[in-house]
Amino acid sequence: MFLSKTFTKEPDIVKRCLRGDRKAQRELYEANAGKFHSLCIRYVKNSMVAEDVMIEGFMKIFEKLPQYEGKGNFEGWMRKIMVTQSLLYLRDNKNLLMEINLDGQENSPAMGVTDHDLNCQDLFQLIAELPVGFRTVFNLYVIEGYSHREIQDMLGISESTSKSQLSRARAALKNRLSKESYQLKETKNHG
């Protein structure tokens, strides 16, 4: 977490925020808004909605700050609140339905990805295009590092559904990466 010269230590900014210091709250917000906005976009896709979710997440952080015991990573504690806030948005808006199939995509043979011209932003774009259930489980498991049991508890689904969603998300990504790789090769061959 980046902090200005005013707040050189994480415990200092936490203490100041606990006292209701608006300057400290603003500093904490500005130091983390970019990365947390990106995190929220991974779940809700829409940038404006993600910003609203992020702001609600910061409100929860300030509300729950007295519960932070100073143990573990403070950024990780805040991150968990942001993920939870994103999931609550999806659940409240009935967007968190687990897909049953991929319209046959999981059965299509995927060619090996041999061209690595995709950058991180391209990969996140492919993840963003996944159906919401696949995307949510993929983000929670692969990017956030939650176990299937934790995902089960967070989303109110079975552990096997979590595993199935992850498997289907990976198959869909592999299929898309194969198509992207093929398109890149075709473009190079004709260009």
What pLDDT, on the 0 to 100 scale, is given for residue 24? 95
C-alpha dist (Å) from residue 157 to 1, 18, 95, 98: 33, 36, 14, 9
Query: What does R_g of the chain's alpha carbons equal in angstroms?
Result: 19
For 149, phi then psi, to 5°, come to -65, -40
What whole-number distance in Å separates Cα of residue 127 and Cα of residue 140? 12
Give SS3 for 83: helix
Query: What domains sit in the chain, N to C, each tagged with a CATH number?
Result: 10-92 (1.10.1740.10), 105-190 (1.10.10.10)
pLDDT in tens, 118-147: 667 778 888 889 999 999 999 999 999 999
20 in Cβ contact with 41 (< 8 Å): no
Give the least confident one: 45-49, 59-63, 78-82.
45-49
